[in-house]
Chains A and B, each alone.
Chain A
Amino acid sequence: MMRIPRRSPLLPGALLVCVLLPGAQAAAQDVLVQAHRLVLAPDSVLTDSAILVRDGKVAYVGADIPAEARSAARRVDYGDATITPGFVVATSTLGRDADFGETAVAFTPDLRAIEAFDPWQDELKLLPALGVTAIGLAPSARNVAGGIGGLVKPGAAQGRIAEPEAFVGFSLAADARNPERMPTSLMGAKEMLREAFDTAKTGVEIGPDLAVLRQVMAGTRRAVVHADTYAELNAALELSQQFGFQPVLVGAREAAKVLPRLATVGAAVVLDTLDPEGRLATLRLPAQLAEAGVPFCFAGRSDRLRLSAALAVRNGLDRRTALAALTRTPAQLLGLQDRVGALRQGCAADFVVHHGDLLDLGARHVATWIDGRCVFGDEPQQARTATPNTTSAAGDRR
């Protein structure tokens, strides 16, 4: 097997961050954000603690904050509120499926989703109010091999690209089968992928498209596969077993039918956000996945992310896994857990503030911060004694 030079996804990404991050160059003052409850990650919670935000990132956490930095920083105290990492949506086209799928050709693994990204898109502006701080911008499910997805973030005025190349999107779902072009059937779709992976594995001269598949097989790029029904899931799992990669299955409506195999293969699942009126079997699926040890997260309607996690809890899921499904798990599935989805040192300072546990719908959403800036809700006064729950307008969404 020959090694192919692979592009580092980080370098161009970092460059873009520097170019696009608004205000990054104006060496901003450090911000010390305090709250009664500080959830760094689902299994790591600090009480009456703080994080120090520097240049849009978490520079220090809790007791690690140097005294001089602490005293020099601007202080934001959310009183008895809870700070939680912002929500990460694993895959989304931000409502523009058509722009993220090259319908004439089914096999385009080297296209980049960020090429079609519009930082001024309306939907991006709504996301902070919903607690969403990062989105895996993915090619749509219309192509068998749709292309490379990146990570984008909403902002106060406009969105930005945080990581241009993160994962590659495949699809075996019904959307990928198009009577106008090959493949028109699930058989054809599976065969198309199998052939491509085969060529990528054994071929000598390969193009940039097959190079992407090679990265998947080498484990340097996550493969996100749209598959809903048993037959589609089965096909995806067979391919992943054959070519040795751990797929992230998107949709996976009938995941309950392949539950043990998911764990064996090391697959993860991106579930559609839950519909409260949906079938009981669907509402109970998250708890089943957790029990089987399959990592999962939610994507779909971003206004239902929090509700989906709450519904999953209501149907038997434990709170920790539910919170992970909103934050850490999607970041892991995109291979970006060091960047987003947690409030550890070096991660982006993306977080949401609630009065109470956000998995209880009674917990009021107070604010959303992205890259160290408050983009939704109110910043409380600096005074240590100030209690943020007097800012009643913060919870209103419209």
Chain B
Amino acid sequence: MQRLRSLFVPAVLSAWVCCAPGLFAQEPEAPPSPAAGSAEPPPQEPQNAETPEAPRNEGRRRSGGRRRAIVAIQAGTVHPVSGPAIDDGVVLLRGDRIVAVGKQGELPVPDNAVVHSFPTGHVYPGLIDAETDAFADQNLKNDGTLDGGAELADGLTWNGERDDQLVAGGVTTAYIAVRSGARLRGQGAIVRPMKDGFELWQGKEHAAVELRMTEGPGASHPLQRAQQLEQQGNLFDGLDDFRKAQEKYDEELKKYEKDFEAWLDHHKKKSGQPEKPAEGGEAKPAEAPPQQPGPGGPGGEGRRGGRRGTGERPPRPGGGGGEVSQEEFEEALATLMAVMAEAPTTAQDPKPAEPKQEPKPGEGQPNGPAGQKPEEKKDEGPKRPTWPKKPNPDPTKDALLKVVDGDLPLRVEAHRPDELRTALAMQREHEIPLLVLEQAYGADSVAEEIARQGAMVVLTDLLPYSIVPATVTRHPYAGFDPTTLATKLQAAGVPFAIASGKSRLAPLLPMMAAAAIGRGLSEDAALRAITLTPAEILGVAGDTGSLQQGKYADVLVTDGPLFSTDSRVLLVLARGRTEFEAK
């Protein structure tokens, strides 16, 4: 365990620092601000001083010039989440960012600022729903054939009234996943709900790989369950081979490029016309296949980046070569040779198109050069290199490689303790840096293990008795109570988010957090579980999740404490835009 930890904790940290630079930068700021934003005003004062001219740069992105002005939201209580609540606080926004958070009177508000005042209101950061099926196409939910490469971002749509409720309820960021019957359920997306739709979070369209590691509550034989869970381990089978094959391909590609250059040089020299073939030679590699995989070739970047797009194109010239008949090949070779040998400038333009398609694949054939034209001294010069065989594209394995590399979190839906333990074992075995456990109803018995491994939890079904009615006592899930689980996870030091799980429940997110408070969770922890912690779990804490300078202007204003049942939402701003305003 120790070894494991030392292995991937740095990876977690580094991934974290990359995803959420603001998070750690801000932590030190927060503690010194118990005196209601005393730490935050200093950096802002110069900014405020330059407000009149500065906003222009900020607002340029937006067409509406009016948004450039500072917007001040004054309220009875401001809850920055990153620090203690501020009585009579004020949040200054400009464009889509928060400029400053502090206490009224202490934080100077520019004269030209647009002031929204809520003397008895409460201001919170926009809420974050760490798991919902909002905007997901209904058909996706029934699709048992999804794989790890399926991108849910492609299948999002607007489902009407209920999806509007997200932003009307103060949710400004949401992670979308579907609970289909598939084992790997595609890659979830982070979206920004809006009043009449949504937008994808740029760069977070593929936010995590979704794995189902549960068969649900259907009772089953314990040993059978053990077997089933054991088989979950095979998810990563062949991943190493896949990676090796990819790496080998990359290497071979490089080698091919080198060999091709050498081969070309050889023929340039041999043709005795240093300039013209040189021109022709330049033209060829420029349009020839080597350039095609070129961007995908070097290093691991292309391996990841060129998943589907480039995966299909290059094999065509290479793969096509395998089917060229002997006659075709010889014909092509003859043409090429003719071109190489004599073609002056005229041949250069029209011809290359033909030769480049067939000759190259053709050259790869084993006894190609042994054909008709023995007068070329093939035995002396370098052999025409073979186009390396591209490994079969596998989006699922691509996705899993990203998981193993820490580029994407793995989100595992696991309910019972044995399922959770299997997920944790999987994390240990494959050194998965970012593991998020969804639902995790039975997590109280493995809470310490979760904490030790640095995994995170997304809790849903927090409304009382939403998994199993109280009157049903023989259900396998009858003992699970996510409402009390939150308190236990908090005690064990497991980062957890409270999520709605369903778009229909999104407006009740604060009520779910309140339910956890009713079972012993502190209000601060509950608030964090629907704001900053989910932002961390989603890797967007640098931009949202708390009211801090530099983050998105995602602001929720309510007329009473958020956890009070009858508090009404008065105003919701998402990146500075008004998405909801109470009439």
Question: A313 and B566 in contact (CB under 8 A), knowing A306-B464, A361-B464, A397-B481?
Answer: yes
Q: Is the CB of A364 within 8 A of B520?
A: yes
How far, in whole Å, are A360 and B515 apart by their CA atoms in the complex? 8
Q: Is the CB of B484 within 8 A of A362?
A: no
Q: Is the CB of A123 within 8 A of B505?
A: no
Assess whether A359 is interfacial by the CB under 8 Å rule.
yes
Question: A313 and B565 in contact (CB under 8 A), knowing A303-B464, A303-B465, A395-B518?
Answer: yes
Q: Is the CB of B463 within 8 A of A276?
A: yes
Residues of A within 8 A of B502 (CB): 277
Give the contacting residue for A303; candidates B470, B519, B566; CB below 8 A: B470
Q: Which of A95, A280, A361 has the most CB of B within 10 A?
A: A361
Assess whether B209 is interfacial by the CB under 8 Å rule.
no
Q: Is the CB of B470 within 8 A of A363?
A: no
How far, in whole Å, are A397 and B479 apart by their CA atoms in the complex? 10
Assess whether B256 is interfacial by the CB under 8 Å rule.
no
Which partner residue on chain A sits nearest B481 by CB separation? A398
How far, in whole Å, are A306 and B470 apart by their CA atoms in the complex? 13
Question: A362 and B514 in contact (CB under 8 A), knowing A303-B471, A313-B565?
Answer: yes
How far, in whole Å, are A359 and B563 apart by their CA atoms in the complex? 11
Q: Is the CB of A398 within 8 A of B564?
A: no
Q: Is the CB of B479 within 8 A of A361?
A: no
Q: Is the CB of A314 within 8 A of B508?
A: yes
Residues of B within 8 A of A361 (CB): 463-464, 511, 514-515, 517-518, 563, 565
Chain A nearest Cβ from B552, distance in angstroms: 27
Q: Mark A114-155 against chain B: 1 for CB-CB distance below 8 A, else 0.
A: 000000001100100110000000000000000000000000
Q: Mark B466-490 against chain A: 1 for CB-CB distance below 8 A, else 0.
A: 1001110100000101001000000
Q: Mark B500-512 against chain A: 1 for CB-CB distance below 8 A, else 0.
A: 0010110110010
Q: Mark A361-374 against chain B: 1 for CB-CB distance below 8 A, else 0.
A: 11111000000000
How far, in whole Å, are A301 and B526 apart by their CA atoms in the complex? 27
Give the contacting residue for A126; candidates B470, B523, B566; CB below 8 A: B470
Assess whether B161 is interfacial by the CB under 8 Å rule.
yes
Assess whether A70 is interfacial by the CB under 8 Å rule.
no
Q: Is the CB of A359 within 8 A of B565?
A: yes
Residues of B within 8 A of A126 (CB): 470-471
How far, in whole Å, are A396 and B444 apart by their CA atoms in the complex? 14
Q: Is the CB of A363 within 8 A of B518?
A: yes
Assess whether A36 is interfacial by the CB under 8 Å rule.
no
Assess whether A319 is interfacial by the CB under 8 Å rule.
yes
How far, in whole Å, are A359 and B479 apart by their CA atoms in the complex? 25
Q: Which chain A residues numbered 85 to 123 have a C-beta less than 8 Å away from chain B?
A: 95, 122-123
Residues of B within 8 A of A392 (CB): 520
Q: Is the CB of A307 within 8 A of B565?
A: no
Q: Mark A278-309 against chain B: 1 for CB-CB distance below 8 A, else 0.
A: 00100000000000000000000111101100
Give the contacting residue for B505; candidates A95, A276, A306, A310; CB below 8 A: A276
Q: Which chain A residues numbered 249 to 297 have a C-beta less than 8 Å away from chain B?
A: 276-277, 280
Which partner residue on chain B sits nearest A301 by CB separation? B469
Which partner residue on chain A sits nearest B484 by CB separation? A396
How far, in whole Å, are A34 and B102 apart by their CA atoms in the complex? 42
Which partner residue on chain A sits nearest B462 by CB separation? A361
Residues of A within 8 A of B526 (CB): 362
Question: A122 and B473 in contact (CB under 8 A), knowing A276-B505, A276-B508, A398-B479?
Answer: yes
Count, chain B residues at interface, CB 8 A? 30
Give the contacting residue for A362; candidates B161, B504, B518; CB below 8 A: B518
How far, in whole Å, are A96 and B465 apart by their CA atoms in the complex? 20
How far, in whole Å, are A302 and B470 apart by their CA atoms in the complex? 8
How far, in whole Å, are A360 and B516 apart by their CA atoms in the complex? 11
Q: Mark B546-583 against chain A: 1 for CB-CB distance below 8 A, else 0.
A: 00000000000000000111100000000000000000
Chain B nearest Cβ from A366, distance in angstroms: 11
Q: Is the CB of B563 within 8 A of A303?
A: no
Q: Which chain B residues numbered 137 to 185 have a C-beta less than 8 Å away from chain A?
A: 161
Residues of B within 8 A of A319 (CB): 566
Residues of B within 8 A of A301 (CB): 465, 469, 471
Chain A nearest Cβ from B514, distance in angstroms: 4
Chain B nearest Cβ from A89, distance in angstroms: 12
Q: Which of B466, B519, B565 has the most CB of A within 10 A?
A: B565
How far, in whole Å, are A311 and B463 apart by their CA atoms in the complex? 11
Chain B nearest Cβ from A5, distance in angstroms: 40
Give the contacting residue for B511; candidates A123, A130, A277, A314; CB below 8 A: A314
Chain B nearest Cβ from A287, distance in angstroms: 11
How far, in whole Å, are A313 and B473 apart by their CA atoms in the complex? 30
Residues of A within 8 A of B563 (CB): 360-362
Which partner residue on chain B sits nearest A356 by CB separation? B518
How far, in whole Å, are A363 and B20 apart by their CA atoms in the complex? 35
How far, in whole Å, are A360 and B502 apart by their CA atoms in the complex? 22
Residues of B within 8 A of A363 (CB): 518
Chain B nearest Cβ from A152, distance in angstroms: 15
Residues of A within 8 A of B518 (CB): 360-365, 395
Question: A123 and B565 in contact (CB under 8 A), knowing A277-B504, A362-B523?
Answer: no
Chain B nearest Cβ from A358, distance in angstroms: 9
Q: Which chain B residues numbered 511 to 536 have a C-beta less than 8 Å away from chain A?
A: 511, 514-515, 517-520, 523, 526
Residues of A within 8 A of B463 (CB): 276, 307, 361
Q: Mark A386-398 against chain B: 1 for CB-CB distance below 8 A, else 0.
A: 0000001001111
How far, in whole Å, are A395 and B502 apart by their CA atoms in the complex? 27
Residues of B within 8 A of A280 (CB): 161
How far, in whole Å, are A250 and B571 apart by their CA atoms in the complex? 38
Chain A nearest Cβ from B503, distance in angstroms: 10
Q: Mark A328-364 against chain B: 1 for CB-CB distance below 8 A, else 0.
A: 0000000000000000000000000000000111111
Which partner residue on chain A sits nearest B513 by CB separation? A362
Question: A362 and B464 in contact (CB under 8 A), knowing A301-B469, A314-B511?
Answer: no
Residues of A within 8 A of B471 (CB): 95, 122-123, 126, 301-303
Q: Is the CB of A304 within 8 A of B511?
A: no
Q: Mark A12-32 against chain B: 1 for CB-CB distance below 8 A, else 0.
A: 000000000000000000000
Residues of B within 8 A of A398 (CB): 479, 481
Give the contacting residue for B470; candidates A129, A276, A365; CB below 8 A: A129
Q: Is the CB of B470 within 8 A of A362?
A: no
Give the contacting residue for A314; candidates B465, B473, B479, B565; CB below 8 A: B565
Q: Which chain A residues numbered 72 to 95 have a C-beta less than 8 Å away from chain B?
A: 95
Which partner residue on chain B sits nearest A355 by CB separation? B518
How far, in whole Å, are A181 and B481 apart by their CA atoms in the complex? 44
Which partner residue on chain B sits nearest A278 by CB separation? B504
Residues of A within 8 A of B505 (CB): 276-277
Chain B nearest Cβ from A393, distance in angstroms: 10
How far, in whole Å, are A17 and B186 apart by their CA atoms in the complex? 62
Chain B nearest Cβ from A68, distance in angstroms: 39
Residues of B within 8 A of A365 (CB): 518
6 A-B contacts (beta carbon < 8 Å) = A276-B466, A302-B471, A303-B465, A313-B565, A361-B464, A361-B518
B contact residues vs A (CB 8 Å cutoff): 161, 463-466, 469-471, 473, 479, 481, 484, 502, 504-505, 507-508, 511, 514-515, 517-520, 523, 526, 563-566
Q: 11 extra interchain contacts, Cβ-Cβ under 8 A, other than A123-B471, A362-B523?
A: A95-B471, A126-B471, A276-B508, A311-B508, A313-B565, A314-B511, A362-B518, A365-B518, A395-B519, A397-B481, A397-B484
Across chains A and B, which 5 residue pairs bring their CB atoms closest together, nearest first?
Answer: A362-B517, A303-B470, A362-B514, A303-B465, A361-B514
